[in-house]
């Protein structure tokens, strides 16, 4: 092993050691709470510096130990995770001043970061399963930071159930693959698939893996805990939405060699991802609470990201993961500013967009995306994905129907076009980054995804033009199509738990008698 390899693995493993050190400092009562936060920040900044060094040195082909292996994409995500952890830690130190159980909070936060770093380097089934399980266990303490909040405890209970089911599915997937390959190494699994193809056992392993990822990423219908976790402190919401739920996308990208040979698993992933993206997007349109809308947005974005993986667009899924993490971290940590801006906007009468702009907007955005791709000279993605992106960006070109003169409308249209051009150019440039990811687009699945996104855009247009025609749909959409209620009742019937505090029972007898009647969506 040369010096470069020693430097790389030292810098790659150092963040895990530093975050474990931060977790072990919490029992020291000699260290005051303020000093504990300062120590966490210092160790977190040190871990961030080591992750940057590991990227600069470059990934090593040597696996040290044999169950770990770092990729270019994993190293980039390690920087993102540690950066978000450092920012969230600094925000939490101010946000939780005067709160009890801050030591438990620091310990759990450091444990989550250490486990995520380990997951990003996992090259063995056992390391992957153990690291992902440790993330869930540590998060339970953060979700129940306020133990007297009933819905926080209910959300933690439902997440615990989803995590244990996901762990069981991952162990089943690992067992099937291990018996077939003769090794728990993921690298050995990729070589076996490339050499021998897919057997029935590996097809079942891929299906179990997809279902485990669906449970971990809070897709419909097991999404309720992610919505109700708004009861936890705001920094925890940022950690969840910006980091933890995105791990499912990383795992699918990591398992791309297996998924590409498993058509049933890809179909299942496409159907669940598309359904979650469409239904959660419809629900988000009817919600008023800023944080709840952000939560439903995460469900929709996770469905969209997993849809990209099902279609073989792994590079776009990776870029989506990074962009979503940065956006959601900023959105939650600046939630108070967003609320203030929303209240200011509510003072002004909002005008519905014109029917002409609703019809022409997707035509223009799709044309712009296709034109830029043709000028670029290299197809970064298939034409049908350009249509999906055009539909997603079409609202940027909607023009108000009233109280807007021609200059204002022209200026808004030009600004929207510049946004579409900028987003397309950014996606193309980022698509050229050396992430070490190979795309294999699937046309048939892509056309189905395009049809689903077109249906979502049609629903949005009808909501703008004829809201009364969709009055019944709005009621169902506002209730999240009652999927979470059904899942919650089933979960509490099969795995009963005392999630309601005694004080809540005595204070709210009506709510205690019907805990799901007013459950937040």
Q: pLDDT per residue over 308-327, tens digit each?
A: 999 999 998 998 899 888 88
The whole-angstrom separation of Cα 133 and Cα 325 is 21
- Which of 396-400, 428-432, 454-458 shows the lowest per-residue confidence on average (mean pLDDT)? 428-432
Q: Are residues 184 and 285 in the same domain?
A: yes
Contact 177/206 with Cβ under 8 angstroms?
Answer: no
Tokens of 157: 């209970």
Side-chain-facing half-sphere of 224: CA atoms under 13 Å = 29
pLDDT digits (tens, 9 = 90+) for 350-364: 567 888 888 889 999
In this structure, the answer to whether residues 172 and 116 fall within a common structural domain is no
Residue 65's pLDDT is what?
A: 64
Crossing angle (nearest 10°) for helices 247-254 and 72-95: 170
Structural domain includes residue 365:
yes
What pLDDT is stored for residue 337 in this prediction?
A: 67
- The reply to whether 493 falls in a domain is no
Considering only residues 232 and 104, tell me which one the structure prediction assigns the higher pLDDT: 104
More confidently predicted of 19 and 63: 19
Q: Is residue 521 part of a domain?
A: no
Tokens of 180: 């077939």
Residue 329 contacts residue 335 (beta carbons within 8 Å)? no
Which segment, 41-55, 143-157, 499-513, is predicted with the most confidence on average?
41-55
| Residue-wise DSSP of 409-436 | HHHHHHHHHHHHHHHHHHHHHHHTS---
Q: Indicate whether 510 belongs to any domain.
A: no
Backbone dihedral region for residue 377 (phi beyond 0: left; psi -120 to 50: alpha; all else: beta)? left
**In this structure, are 310 and 192 located in the same domain?**
yes
More confident residue, 107 or 291: 107
Mean pLDDT of 142-160: 84
Cβ atoms of 273 and 303 closer than 8 Å:
yes
Name the 3-class secondary structure at 316. Answer: helix
The pTM score is 0.88
Cα four-point dihedral sign 510, 511, 515, 517: positive
Picking from 72, 90, 121, the residue at the C-terminal end of a domain is 121
Query: What DSSP state is assigned to residue 354?
Result: P
Confidence label for 509 from pLDDT (cuts 50, 70 and 90): very low
* Cα–Cα dist 77/211, whole Å: 23
Q: Name the residue among 165, 161, 160, 169 with its Cα closest to residue 125.
A: 169
Same domain, yes or no: 28 and 78: yes
Q: 302 near 219, Cβ under 8 Å?
A: yes
Whether pLDDT at 170 is above 80: yes
Residues 316 and 450 in one domain: no
End position of a domain, from candidates 317, 340, 363: 340
pLDDT of residue 413: 80
497 domain residue, yes or no:
no
| Cis peptide upstream of residue 293 (ω within 30 degrees of 0) | no
- Domain span holding position 67: 1-121
Q: Does 78 reside within a domain?
A: yes
Q: What is the pLDDT of residue 172?
A: 96
pLDDT of residue 130: 95
110 and 84 in a single domain? The answer is: yes
Total number of domains constituting the chain: 3
pLDDT band for position 110 (cuts 50, 70, 90): very high
User: What pLDDT score does 521 carry?
Assistant: 40
CB atoms within 10 A of CB 394: 24
One domain, residues 336 and 365: no
Closest residue by Cα to residue 435 from 292, 519, 278, 318: 318
Q: What is the pLDDT of residue 61?
A: 58
What's the helix, strand, coil split of the chain in %, to 5?
Answer: 75, 0, 20
Q: Determine phi and psi for 281, rounding to 5 degrees.
A: -65, -40
Strand ranges, E, within 174-328? none
Name the residue among 207, 153, 254, 240 with its Cα closest to residue 503. Answer: 153
Enumerate residues 6+ apart whose C-beta is below 8 A from 157: 491, 495, 497, 499
**513 falls within a domain:** no
Q: Which tens digit of pLDDT belongs to each residue from 181-207?
A: 999 999 999 999 999 888 999 999 999
Same domain, 180 and 325: yes
Average pLDDT, the chain: 84
Residue 174 pLDDT grade (very low, low, confident, very high; cuts 50, 70, 90): very high
Position 518 pLDDT exceeds 70: no
Query: Mean pLDDT, to the nearest integer, of 130-148?
Result: 89
Query: Is the model's pLDDT at 28 over the cut of 90?
Result: no
Q: Does position 520 have pLDDT exceeding 50, yes or no?
A: no
- Same-domain status, 356 and 476: yes
Q: 106 and 154: one domain?
A: no
Residue 330 and residue 372 in one domain: no
pLDDT (0 to 100) of residue 46: 95
Distance (Å) of CA 46 to CA 12, 34, 339: 12, 19, 34
The per-residue pLDDT for 355 is 84
Cα separations in angstroms, 499 against 105, 191, 207: 20, 46, 32
Tell whether 362 and 263 lie within a shared domain: no
CA 321 from chain centre, in angstroms, equals 7
Tell me the pLDDT band of 169, cut-offs 50, 70 and 90.
very high
Cα–Cα dist 312/324, whole Å:
19
What pLDDT is attached to residue 514?
A: 40
Rounding to the nearest 10 degrees, give the CA dihedral for residues 166, 169, 174, 179.
170
**250 in any annotated domain:** yes
- Decide: 393 and 365 in contact? Cβ < 8 Å: yes
CATH number for the domain that contains residue 17: 1.20.120
CA neighbours closer than 13 Å in the CB half-sphere of residue 15: 34
Q: Is the pLDDT of residue 515 over 50?
A: no
Domain boundary residue among 340, 367, 383?
340
- Identify which has the larger pLDDT, 80 or 295: 80
139 or 459, greater pLDDT: 139
């Amino acid at each position: 092993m040369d010096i470069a390899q020693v430097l790389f693995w030292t810098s790659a493993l150092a963040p895990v050691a530093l975050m474990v050190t931060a977790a072990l400092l919490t029992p020291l009562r000699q260290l005051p709470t303020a000093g504990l936060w300062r120590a966490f920040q210092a160790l977190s900044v040190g871990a961030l510096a080591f992750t940057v060094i590991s990227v600069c040195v470059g990934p090593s082909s040597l696996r040290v130990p044999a169950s770990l292996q770092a990729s270019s994409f994993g190293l980039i995500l390690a920087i993102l995770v540690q950066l978000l952890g450092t920012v969230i830690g600094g925000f939490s130190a101010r946000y939780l001043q005067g709160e009890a159980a801050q030591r438990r909070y620091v310990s759990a936060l450091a444990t989550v970061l250490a486990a995520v770093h380990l997951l990003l380097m996992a090259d063995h089934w056992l390391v992957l399963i153990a690291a992902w399980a440790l993330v869930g266990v540590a998060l339970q303490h953060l979700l129940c930071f306020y133990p007297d909040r009933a819905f926080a405890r209910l959300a933690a209970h439902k997440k615990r159930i989803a995590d244990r089911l996901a762990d069981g599915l991952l162990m089943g997937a690992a067992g099937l693959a291990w018996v077939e390959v003769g090794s728990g190494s993921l690298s050995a699994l990729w070589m076996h698939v490339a050499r021998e193809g897919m057997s029935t056992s590996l097809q079942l392993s891929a299906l179990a893996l997809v279902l485990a990822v669906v449970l971990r990423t809070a897709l419909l219908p097991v999404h309720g805990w992610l919505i109700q976790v708004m009861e936890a402190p705001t920094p925890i919401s940022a950690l969840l939405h910006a980091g933890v739920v995105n791990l499912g996308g990383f795992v699918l990208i990591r398992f791309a060699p297996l998924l590409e040979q498993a058509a049933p698993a890809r179909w299942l992933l496409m159907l669940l991802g598309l359904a979650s993206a469409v239904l959660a997007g419809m629900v988000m349109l009817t919600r008023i609470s800023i944080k709840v809308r952000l939560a439903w947005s995460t469900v929709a974005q996770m469905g969209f990201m997993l849809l990209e993986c099902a279609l073989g667009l792994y590079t776009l899924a990776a870029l989506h993961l990074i962009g979503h993490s940065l956006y959601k971290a900023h959105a939650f940590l600046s939630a108070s500013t967003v609320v203030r801006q929303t209240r200011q906007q509510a003072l002004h009468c909002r005008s519905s967009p014109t029917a002409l702009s609703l019809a022409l907007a997707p035509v223009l955005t799709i044309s712009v995306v296709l034109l830029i791709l043709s000028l670029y000279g290299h197809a970064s993605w298939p034409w049908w994905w350009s249509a999906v992106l055009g539909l997603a960006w079409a609202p940027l070109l909607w023009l108000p129907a009233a109280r807007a003169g021609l200059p204002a409308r022209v200026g808004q249209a030009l600004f929207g076009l510049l946004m579409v051009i900028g987003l397309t150019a950014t996606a193309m440039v980022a698509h050229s980054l050396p992430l070490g990811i190979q795309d294999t687009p699937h046309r048939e699945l892509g056309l189905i995804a395009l049809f689903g996104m077109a249906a979502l855009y049609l629903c949005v247009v009808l909501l703008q033009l004829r809201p009364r025609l969709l009055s019944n749909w709005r009621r169902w959409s506002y209730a999240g199509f009652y999927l979470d209620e059904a899942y919650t009742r089933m979960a509490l019937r099969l795995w009963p738990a005392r999630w309601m505090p005694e004080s809540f029972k005595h204070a709210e007898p009506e709510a205690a008698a019907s805990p799901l009647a007013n459950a937040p969506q």
